[in-house]
Structure 1
Amino acid sequence: MIEALMDFGRWFLANQFTFSILMAAIVLLGPLINGCAICILAERKLSGYIQDRKGPNRVGPWGLLQPLADGIKFILKEDYTPGHVDRPTFILAPAIAFITALLGFVIVPWAGEIHWPWMEPGQTVSTQAASLDVGFLYVLAVGSLAVYGVVLAGWSSNNKYAFYGGMRATAQMLSYEVPLGLALLAMLLIGGSLRLEVLVAEQASTGLWWVAFQPIAFIMVLIASLAEANRAPFDLAECEQELIAGFHVEYGSMKFAMFPLGEYAHMMTSAAIMTAVFFGGWHVWGLTDPADTTLFGALLKFTVFWAKIAAFIGLFMLIRWTVPRFRYDQLMRVAWKSMVPMGLGLVIGNGLLVYMGWHKLLAANLAVNAAVFVLAVIVSAMAKAPVTGRQVYMPAVQVAPGGGRSAAPRA
C-alpha cells in the first residue's frame, strides 16, 4: 500500500498536467490568498507610520492577527442585498472582480524547471500552471475582463454614486489598456516571444534585466497597472470626497470584501508580470542558477520571485500614501496625450531596432528611449494645457472703506 502511494506520488509530480494543477493550488491557496490579507495589514501599518500613528496593534502580538479578525467580521456580518438593486448582477459583480484578478497567475514562470531524481535524464517539469503561446495576449485579455465587474457593480446598484463610479472606472481602465498594450508590444519586439518563461530565461542567460533596456516601457506598465487596479493616485472611481465609496457603495459583508481582495490580487498579478518581463523573474546574480533544476534551486527561485513581488507591492503602497489624486481630466490627458504617443514611439523605435538587428544592444535601446522621452517633453511643452478646474472670469474684489468687501467688474 505504501509503495503504491509512493509510486502515485512520483507519477503525480513527474506528470506536467498534474504538477501544474499542484502549482496552481499552491500559489492560489498559499501566497496569493494569504498575501492579500497580509498586504492589507501591511498597508494599514505603512499608512499609520506615514501619518505618525501606530496603525492596528490591538489584535494579537503587534496587531498581526488583525487580518483574521477582519475576515471573521466580514464572514459573520449579515449578507444584506438592498431591495432596489438588480439582484443577479449585483451578486455576480464582486465574483467577476475577484476571479479575473486571479487568472493572470497561470502563465507566471515561478521557478523555472524541476528535475526529480526518479525522472529520466534531461526530463523536467515546469513550475508554470500553463505555458501558453499567447502569453502577453492572455494577460491583456483577462486583465481587461476586470472592467465587467466594476461596471456591473455600478449599474446593478441602482445608485447614482455607484453608477458614476462605475462609469469613471470603465473609462479609466479602457483608456489605460491602450498604453499597457503598447508597452508590452514594445517588449515583445525586443524579446521575440510572447511566452514569459522564454523572456525570463533570456534575461537569466545574459545577466541583463530588460528594465535597463526599456525603462520608459517599464514606467508605462507601472503607471497603467496602478490605473487598472484603481489604486491611488488613480482611484477616482471610489474617491470618498465626491462619490462616497463609488461602485461598491451598496455592498457589505463578504461581497464588499471581494473588491479590495480583487484589487490586491490584481496588484500582485501586475507585479508578477513586471517581475517576469523587466526584472528577470527568478534570476538574481550569484544566487540563482538557470541550470539548477533541483528542488532546492526551485524553492530558491520561487522565494526570489515573491521577494520581487513584495518589493513592487511596497512601491504601490508608498505611491498611494505619498502621491495626491489626479483630477479626472488630468487622468485622461496622461493616458491619451502622454502615454499613448510614447508607447507608439517605443513600438516604432523598437521595430526599427529589430529591422536593423540592434534590438539586443543596450546602447541602441537606451538611445531609442532617450529619443522618445525628448520628443515627449517637446510635445508636452508645445501643447497648450486646457483651462479646466479654474474660474477665469472672476470679478475683481475690492475692500470697502468700512472694512467690508465689494465686488466690482473688471475693466
Structure 2
Amino acid sequence: MIETSQDLPLWAHLIRVLAVFLFFLAGTGLLTWGERRLLGRMQARLGPNRIGPLGVGQFLMDAVKMLFKEDVTPGMVNRPLFRLAPLIGVVAAITSMAVIPISGPLEIGGYIFPLQVADLGVGVLWVLAIGSIHVYGLFLAGWSSNSPYPLIGGVRSSAQMISYEIAQGLAVASVFIYVGSLRVSDIVNAQAGDGLWAGMPGWFVVPLFPAFVVFLVGMVAEAGRTPFDLAEAEGELVGGFVTEYSALRFGLFMIAEFMGAITQSAIMVTLFFGGPSGPTFGLEGTAAGLLGFVWFALKTLFFVFFFILLRGALPRYRYDKLMELGWKILIPIALVWTMVTAVFVLLAEQGGLATEARVGLAVGAVLILALLLFVRPKGDDDAPSDPASTDRSRDIDTPAHTVAPPADSTTTGRNG
C-alpha cells in the first residue's frame, strides 16, 4: 500500500523533493551540452569537445562564466521588474515538476512511496496554472527593458502563449475526461495494463491520438523552441525579450528555456505514455520502482531528442502562420476531440462499447478532424489578385519602357 503524504516522515519528503529536483536540474545541464553536441553533428562539425569526455563538462564552464560575468543593467530599464522577470520562468519550471511522478513505488525504511513531490487532487490543473505563469516573465522582461525589440518580443510571447495554451488545455481536458480524475497518479494508473488489444500498452496516445498531436505541437510553442521561437527571433528582433540582459540574468532565461523543454516532455510522458509504467520483467518492490524511473527517463529523453531535431531541421515559422496554426487548426481540432471524448465516456457509462465500435468511432472522429485541416476558409494568400494590379507575366514579356505607337500613326524609319 502506498503511504499518503500525511503518513510519511520528514526525511521521506526530503528524499522525494531532492530526487525530483536533481533529476530535472541534471537533465537541464546535460541538455545544454547534448543539444550543442547533436546539432554539431547534424551540421557537420564537432560541437563541444574540450572539457571532459566528449566535452560533457562544457555546461559547467558555461555556468561559471555566466555567474562571474559582469552584469550590465541599462539605465533606461525599470529596475525592479527587470530584475524580477528572469526568476519567474525558473520558478514556474521548477514548481511545475512537483506533481510529476518520476518513478514507481519505492520501499525505503519501511515506507512505500513514489518519487513525486505532491500528489494533488487537482494535479493537472496545477500543471496548466503554473505553466501559464511562465509568460509573465517573458512579457515583463520585454516591457521593463523600455526598448523596441524587447517589447515586440514580449508582446509576441504573450500572444503565442495564449493561443497555444488554449489548444494545450483542451488536449489535457480530453485526458482527464477520459480518466475521470484530475489527480496525476490516477492518470498514470489508468494507463497500466493492456490497451485496446491484449499485449498493447494502455497508453493514452492510442485512444486519444488527436489530443496527443495537439499537445505535441502546443508543447513546442509553450517551451518557445524552434520553429516557434518567435519571441526571440534573432534575425528579426536581435534577441527579443532578452536583448538587454547579460550575465547571470541572461543565464536564468536560458536555464528556464531548457528546463521548460524537459518539463513539457515529462508532462507529455505522464499524460500520454504512462509515466514511469513499463515492463517490469518479473521484478517487484523497489527494483520495479527503480525500473520505472529508467522507463520514465528514457521516454522523457525521447521527446527531448525530438526538441533538438526540430531545432536542427526546421526554419523559424512566420508569425502570422504561427497564429493561424493555433487559432484556425489546433483549437478547433482540440475542441472537437474533447467533445468526442466526452461522447465516448458517456456511451461507456451507459453500457459499454465493444472494441470494434470504439475503433470505428475513433476512426470516424479522426476523419472529421482531417476535414477540418484541409477544408478551411480561403485566406489572404488565396485571395484573387486586384484587377488593377499589374499582370506580372505580361511585364516579363513586355519591357516597361516599351511604348506602343498610336493606331493611326504612320511608321517612319530607315526602310520606311
User: Which of 62, 78, 81 is the aligned partner of 2:73?
Assistant: 81
Aligned-partner Cα distance in 2 for 1:125–1:233: 39
Aligned-partner Cα distance in 1 for 2:358–2:119: 28
Equivalence for 1:342: 333
| Per-residue deviation, residues 161-203 of structure 1 (Å, max 9, x unmatched) | 0000110010000111111111111111111111111121221
Give the partner amino acid of 2:294: T
User: Which of 206, 213, 233 is the aligned partner of 2:227?
Assistant: 233
Please report the RMSD computed on the Cα atoms of aligned residues, expressed in angstroms: 2.6
Structure 2 counterpart SS, 1:324: coil
| Per-residue deviation, residues 69-124 of structure 1 (Å, max 9, x unmatched) | 111111110011111100000000000011101111111122232334645xxxx3
Structure 1 counterpart SS, 2:275: coil
Equivalence for 1:374: 367
Aligned-partner Cα distance in 2 for 1:360–1:67: 53
What's the CA shift for 1:16? 5.1
Equivalence for 1:131: 119
Equivalence for 2:173: 185
Give the partner amino acid of 2:96: G
Residue 162 (1) aligns with residue 150 (2): yes
- Cα gap change, 1:310/1:198 in structure 2, threshold over 3 Å: closer, same or farther? same
Aligned residues between the structures = 386
| Per-residue deviation, residues 338-383 of structure 1 (Å, max 9, x unmatched) | 1111111111111111111178866555444433332233234332
Give the partner amino acid of 1:353: F
Give runs of aligned pairs for residues 294-333 of structure 1, distance below 5 A: 294=286, 296-333=287-324
With 384-393 and 127-136 compared, the bigger mean Cα shift is at 384-393
Equivalence for 2:207: 213
- Cα gap change, 1:161/1:367 in structure 2, threshold over 3 Å: closer, same or farther? farther
Q: Which runs of 5+ in 1 are unaligned?
A: 1-11
Give the partner amino acid of 2:249: K
User: Which of 248, 259, 271 is the aligned partner of 1:254?
Assistant: 248
Aligned-partner Cα distance in 1 for 2:314–2:333: 22
Give runs of aligned pairs for residues 91-110 of structure 1, distance below 5 A: 91-110=83-102
Conservation of the 8 A alpha-carbon contact between 1:346 and 1:369: no
Aligned-partner Cα distance in 2 for 1:13–1:341: 42
Give the partner amino acid of 1:69: M
Give runs of aligned pairs for residues 15-54 of structure 1, distance below 5 A: 15=8, 18-28=11-21, 30-54=22-46
What's the CA shift for 1:399? 6.4
Conservation of the 8 A alpha-carbon contact between 1:229 and 1:266: yes
Aligned-partner Cα distance in 1 for 2:353–2:74: 58
Give the partner amino acid of 2:342: G
Aligned-partner Cα distance in 2 for 1:407–1:51: 47
| Per-residue deviation, residues 188-224 of structure 1 (Å, max 9, x unmatched) | 1111111111121221234411111111111111111
Identity, % of aligned positions: 34
Aligned-partner Cα distance in 2 for 1:214–1:304: 21
- Cα gap change, 1:133/1:260 in structure 2, threshold over 3 Å: closer, same or farther? same
Structure 2 counterpart SS, 1:406: coil
Equivalence for 1:9: none
What's the CA shift for 1:408? 8.0
- Cα gap change, 1:203/1:84 in structure 2, threshold over 3 Å: closer, same or farther? same
Aligned-partner Cα distance in 2 for 1:363–1:82: 65
Conservation of the 8 A alpha-carbon contact between 1:215 and 1:369: no
Give the partner amino acid of 1:303: V
Equivalence for 2:55: 63
Aligned-partner Cα distance in 2 for 1:381–1:224: 20
Equivalence for 2:342: 351
- Cα gap change, 1:18/1:363 in structure 2, threshold over 3 Å: closer, same or farther? farther
Residue 114 (1) aligns with residue 106 (2): yes
- Cα gap change, 1:283/1:126 in structure 2, threshold over 3 Å: closer, same or farther? closer
Aligned-partner Cα distance in 2 for 1:363–1:264: 42
What's the CA shift for 1:267? 1.2
Give the partner amino acid of 2:380: V
The TM-score with structure 2 as length reference comes to 0.86
Conservation of the 8 A alpha-carbon contact between 2:92 and 2:130: yes
- Cα gap change, 1:93/1:244 in structure 2, threshold over 3 Å: closer, same or farther? same
Aligned-partner Cα distance in 2 for 1:109–1:288: 22
Aligned-partner Cα distance in 2 for 1:115–1:95: 36
Conservation of the 8 A alpha-carbon contact between 2:167 and 2:218: yes
- Cα gap change, 1:369/1:268 in structure 2, threshold over 3 Å: closer, same or farther? farther
Aligned-partner Cα distance in 1 for 2:353–2:301: 29
Equivalence for 2:133: 145
Structure 1 counterpart SS, 2:251: helix
- Cα gap change, 1:88/1:199 in structure 2, threshold over 3 Å: closer, same or farther? same
| Per-residue deviation, residues 129-160 of structure 1 (Å, max 9, x unmatched) | 10100011111100100110010000001110
Conservation of the 8 A alpha-carbon contact between 1:150 and 1:166: yes
Aligned-partner Cα distance in 2 for 1:390–1:80: 49
- Cα gap change, 1:364/1:73 in structure 2, threshold over 3 Å: closer, same or farther? farther
Q: Which runs of 5+ in 2 are unaligned?
A: 195-200, 404-416
